[in-house]
Structure formats: C-alpha cells, structure tokens
Structure 1
Amino acid sequence: MELNQIWHCPRPELAKRYLALLQAGPVVSTTIFAPRRTGKTVFLRKDLTPAADAAGFTVAYVDLWQTRLNPGIAIVRGLEEALTPRTLAQRALHKLHEPVKKVKASGSAGELKGAIEVELGDAKKEATELALRIEELVVKLVSKKKLLLLVDEAQELARNKENELMAMALRTAITKNSDKLRVVFTGSSRTQLANVFSNSTAPLFSVGATVQEFPLLGRELVEFVAKKFQVASGRTLDVAAGWTAFQEFHQQPEPFLSVVVAMLMDPSLTFERAVATEKAEQDKEENHEGTWASLDAMQRQLLLLFANDPHAKPFGKAALAKLAKALGVPSLAPSDVQYSLNNLKSKTIISKAPGGVHTFESAAFERWVRTLAPVNP
C-alpha cells in the first residue's frame, strides 16, 4: 500500500465539488490532469468514492496504468468488481439469482474477480467481445442505481489501435447511458490526454469534457503529516522546512512521506539528510542520466531552457540566439526547434500546458535537469 494511502490527508470539499459538477446536469464526464504521484488515485479511492457512495452511486474503479497493454481487461474487471456484492449474504443471493456471465480471458491478464476469461487468439474477436461485455456490464449496473466510473491514467487509451477500440466502447457506453452514468478520467500526460480527448480524431473526442488541472495538496498536507509524526515519534517536524521540501518534490506526497518514514525508522536521521537521500533515490529510480544520454544536443538544450524558465518562448529571437550559441552554430530556424520539440513531446518528456508553458512530464526529471544535468551537453 502506498504511504499516502496510509497517512491520507482527507479532501472532502474537493470531492463534493467534483460530485456537484457531475450531478449538475450538462456534464456527464470530466477529466483531471496532474503529474504522476501527486495524489490523484488516492483522491479517487479515499475521497471521491465514499462521497459518491453516500450520494447514491455505485462506484467502479479502473486502473489503466497496471494493464497498459490491455485496458479492456481492466475496464471489465473494474465493472465486474462493482457488480459483485460486498457482503456474504449478498454474494449468496447473487449466486442464486443473478450469476455473472463470463467472458473468455487470457491467462496473462492475472487473477480477475468474476472469473473473466478472454480468448487472445483473434485480436479482433477479443476486442469485440470485450467491447460488448463493457456495454453489458454498464447496462446491468445502471439498471440498479447511478454509476460513477473512475478511469485512472486514461492516456493509456491512446497507446495503440487496440486500446482505441476500448476507448470507443467506453464512448458508446457513455452515450447510451448518459442519464445514469457519470465518468471521471484522470491522466498524467497532457500530450497523451490530447490524443484521447482533445484532437478531432481522438477516440473520446469531447467525451472527457475540458481537461481540468487537479488541485495539488498544499501546506495542509505538511501540517497533517507533522501532527502524525509527532504522535508516532514524540518529535517535532518543522512545518516551514517541510513545506519547502514538499515544494521541491513538486508537491508529490509519496516522496515527502518517504522522507518522514525514513526519519521514523532512524531517529538519528536529520530531515535535511532524509530529503537529500530521497532525491537521490528518485534520480536513480527514474534513470535520468539514461534519459539524458538518449537525447541529442538540441533536445538537451531545450530541456535546460525550459527547466530554468518554463515560460520561455523557444521560437523567439532571444531563445533562438541562446540555443544557437549553446550549440555552437551561427543561427537556428524555428523549424529546427520545432522538430526537436516534437520529438520531446513524442517521448513524453515535455508537454505544452495551457498558456503556452512547456512543462516536464516528470517533476523529478525537471529538478535533475535544472540542478544536475551538464550545462554543455
């Protein structure tokens, strides 16, 4: 279990806002964006799910990150789990009166509740059966009560043509059951989310509504953790220093909580040393040096430019002159920069946020580029 699920900082008001938006009428679904490890999943499971339960929804959760190569399996699994009664008595009645129809499944899909079985021999047949099963399960669920479908890391629906077929199945289910079905998509890549929702040829074009920025946890998390730390250890965690470190981690709860847990495990460890160790672990885990080595000189210079100034205009005269000087060439054309920028986007290293700001997909890699990357690559 992730640390931010164990030391969960509740966000009931934010959950109420999302529910109010979905129940207002015009909006059937919405999409929220935030980088990975910033608390989206925990919010869905720990805040939005219980709020939706209390509001009379059945909630189905789908994690596409764990089943990136076959999202259809993940969607069916999430819907099957939502359909499965929770108590022993309910399960007994369910078996007697409403057995779940099985679909054939692949052994590589893992253990799935509801004994989902899929035949993988014919990809088209598999996709068709999964699409029909998704629609069947949604109809069965909404016949009982309102359904809130939570689809985590939805950018995976644009990974390949097979995944796009599952996105189209979702689109059909949403369109046909818009009176009793509400959907929240999340994503951690702006570029890939655009391929799912925003581009005119996207499989869920207009279905995900406007992609909204997910409000990150702020100083309230540091204060919450400081109280937990004091109760657990009898020691004091400096909130001001904690807030500074949390910002350095780009307000990602998991690395910040790892720092605090390290201090609980080793009372002699200082906060500053724990922070430095966690940063080094992040750099090693994500292999920033390997990513850097895979880029050409122009791509590296662009990353250095954006790491130090996200608002930089890469096609402006000043930026072109700066890039040309760093590369040791007389001049650069905007087309030269555009080519490298497109490559960085296709590698999901950089994306363009609203307002023209170029942001890193990985906050840890951004910090590494800004502080540790060679100035003259």
Structure 2
Amino acid sequence: MKKVNWHFQRKTLAESYLQTVYQGAMSRIALLDVRRTGKTTFLLKDLYPIALENGFIPVYINLWGEPDSPTLAITQALNNTLNALNETVTGKLSELANSEIKKLEVGNNVFGKATIEFSDKNAHKPSESELFKIGQLVEALFNKCGDKALIIIDEIQHLASSEKFLSVQHALRTALDTYSDICVVFAGSSRSGVNAMFSDKDKPFYDSAFMIDFPRLGEEFVRHCCDTLREHFDLNYDALAVNAFYEEIDKSPFWMMKLMTYLMAHKASLTEGTDYIKALMIQDGDFEGLKKRLRDLDIEILRLIRQEKTALYSAQVVEELSKTVASEVTTSAIQTSVKKLKGMEIISQYADKYYIESPGFIRYLEANSP
C-alpha cells in the first residue's frame, strides 16, 4: 500500500518569497492571514524543502513548540540546525523538517485544538544568559551560512502574549538586526497579533518586516482534492459543489481536509459530509455561545465586513445600519461593536480592512438569524 500525497504544492509561491527575502530591498517578510488557512503547512512542506533545493539553510522555529519558554524553542531549533550542518546537510535538515511535519499532522487530527493551552502564570522569563545565547546562535548560523541562512519563525505573535517575553523580542530583534543578511520569514495564526507586533511603534519588532497577505488556496486546490479521491479511492464528487462548500467555509484548508477524510472513510454523499463538517465547526468554534453574546448591531456589522465594506464609520453606513436594526445608530456605537468583535477574536483588522477570524461563522449567523 502506497501513501497518498494529499499536499497541494505551491512551489511558485515559495520561490517568490525566497526571491523577495534574498534579492529584495528587505530581507524579512511577515505572512498575514487568519488561522487555519494553511500557513504552517506551506512553511514546512513548500518553503522549507524548496529553500533547500535552492541552496539555503533553513531553520524552522515554532514558538508553540515550547509555549512557556519561547527562548527554548528558538535556541533548540538553532542548535539542531547547527548540529545538522556538521553532518550530511540535506538529509539531516530534511529529517528536522519531517519531525515538525509529523507534529503538525498529529495536531491537525486533535479535534478542537485550534490554539495552544497557555497561561501567563507559567510563562518563563528568560535569564540574561538565555537571551545572550540567542545572539550567539544567530551569529554562529551566519558565520556558517552567510546570506543563505533562512530563519522561519512560526506563531511569532506568541512573543506578544506575555510581558515576560518582551526581553525575548528585544534579543531576537537585536540579533536579526546585527546579522541583517540573514533571510527571515515570520508567520502566525493571528492576523491581528502579527500585525500588532510589526505595526506598533512602541514594540521591538516595529517596522522590521514587509507585511504580505498570505493568499488562500483556490479552485485548483479543490480540484486536486477531488482528483485524489477519484484516482486513489474511486470516489467521484462534483468539483463545483465541493468548491461551493469550500467558499462557504471561507476557504479553510483545515476544514476541507476534514471533509476529505470523512468522505474517504465513510464513502458518504457530499451532503452528508458537508453537514457533518458544519456540525463540527459549530461545536469547535462555539458558534452558539458566540451568537448569544452578539447584539443585532454586531451581527449587521459582521455582514458588512463579509461584504468587504471598510468605511464602517461613514454617514452612509450609519444610516444603513439605523434602518437595518430599526433604531438610531451612532458612530460611537459602531466603534464599540467593532472593539467588542475584535476582543471576541471574531474579526481582526489590518490597515483599513477587516477580516473574519472564524471560518463559517458568518454563514452560521445568516442561517440562524431571523
């Protein structure tokens, strides 16, 4: 029995990011999107191996690997790569990537684990020697690899989750500035968290990376999934219908692969499969609980955001909302609602654009509101 490769490769995208950090005016980029849109899979299965093919020495660091001590996650990853450089480079580095891929696949199969369990109480404030070690290892990497070193830092927003990690931000920024020829790709599972780290002038990482919207997988990904089901499992589904569901779940590859697993395991109809996934999403995202906390105005603002409206405080939108909720709406009330939705992590904002953080939630509201 041969293992089926479900991964839809994005080689051109990976190569473009490599070119950006290596030949562009800025050697660091930060990939922005909401959670469960395939960023980590892309980093491990596309960017990392393609970087190796192009002569780079990639270091993959997942800050959720050691949530209480991101300093340890950083130093361990750098140490592991430096040790691998003393052996057969490509083979050993590929082994490091494969071990991270296994962790990712296990995590994706644990239902409901959308984010890590983290308590500030357990956060470890690093010592001066631990912080110094970050600089030492970054220097050692540069001395061995020069400008062909590529550091990939996943879940970068975790460094902003505790004041105890502020010194880690300073140490890491200083090391990367000192050896500025090192290429760096940041990514995270919180668009607002990543944006806050790099756009706040009072934060250590302010203006230290070029922000890039991470593109969602499109119809070609859906066709790949349907082709895989047909070729390997003799299961035939209407690609247009599958794509319609993919659009309905806000193009979330995470939930799309859950659907593929259900269809493959149960040989079920597409309707049965999509109903099952919708039920999982409602439970996983606590959609019922979220809905109970929302007022009519909150729901109407979410609908506007889904329509990609940006001028939420304009006179036209104020008038429109007043008619929709059948009561006078003020700019202040809209501001309060937007702040509430951000606090509930239902939406995030980058520049003047708003993003839905919870795939499928707006469709759920539309289906369950009068």
Compute the TM-score of the two structures, normalised by the length of structure 2.
0.81
1:161 counterpart residue number: 163
Conservation of the 8 A alpha-carbon contact between 2:192 and 2:349: yes
Query: Structure 1, residues 276-298: CA drift from partner, whole Å, max 9, x if none?
Result: 21011011111112223344564
Deviation for aligned residue 1:365: 2.2
Conservation of the 8 A alpha-carbon contact between 2:305 and 2:354: yes
Given the alignment of the two structures, is residue 47 of structure 1 paired with residue 46 of structure 2, yes or no? yes
Distance in 1 between residues matched to 2:122 and 2:249, nearest whole Å: 45
1:147 counterpart residue number: 149
Root-mean-square deviation (CA), in Å?
Answer: 2.8
1:226 counterpart residue number: 226
Conservation of the 8 A alpha-carbon contact between 1:57 and 1:148: yes
Compared CA separation, residues 301 and 228, structure 1 to 2 (3 A): closer
Equivalent position amino acid for 1:229 in 2 = L
2:237 counterpart residue number: 237
Q: Secondary structure at the match of 2:84?
A: coil
Question: How many residues of Structure 1 are paired with residues of Structure 2 in the alignment?
Answer: 335
Distance in 2 between residues matched to 1:136 and 1:367, nearest whole Å: 50
Conservation of the 8 A alpha-carbon contact between 2:68 and 2:124: no
**Any unmatched runs of 5+ in structure 2?**
90-120
**Which of these residues, 348, 352, 361, is aligned with residue 351 of structure 1?**
348
1:82 counterpart residue number: 81
Deviation for aligned residue 1:218: 1.3
Given the alignment of the two structures, is residue 273 of structure 1 paired with residue 275 of structure 2, yes or no? no
Distance in 2 between residues matched to 1:39 and 1:11, nearest whole Å: 11
Conservation of the 8 A alpha-carbon contact between 1:29 and 1:183: yes
Q: Which structure has the larger Rg?
A: 1
Between the two proteins, what is the percent identity of the paired residues?
27
Equivalent position amino acid for 1:263 in 2 = L
Compared CA separation, residues 217 and 137, structure 1 to 2 (3 A): same
Compared CA separation, residues 232 and 121, structure 1 to 2 (3 A): closer
2:283 counterpart residue number: 284
1:366 counterpart residue number: 362
Distance in 2 between residues matched to 1:234 and 1:291, nearest whole Å: 40
**Any unmatched runs of 5+ in structure 1?**
91-119
Q: Secondary structure at the match of 2:144?
A: coil
Deviation for aligned residue 1:257: 1.9
Distance in 2 between residues matched to 1:214 and 1:244, nearest whole Å: 21
Distance in 2 between residues matched to 1:219 and 1:326, nearest whole Å: 34
Deviation for aligned residue 1:320: 2.4
Equivalent position amino acid for 1:253 in 2 = P
Distance in 1 between residues matched to 2:305 and 2:162, nearest whole Å: 29
Distance in 2 between residues matched to 1:11 and 1:85, nearest whole Å: 26
Equivalent position amino acid for 2:273 in 1 = A
Equivalent position amino acid for 2:150 in 1 = L
2:98 counterpart residue number: none
Equivalent position amino acid for 1:236 in 2 = N
Q: Secondary structure at the match of 2:281?
A: helix
Deviation for aligned residue 1:253: 1.6
Distance in 2 between residues matched to 1:292 and 1:164, nearest whole Å: 35
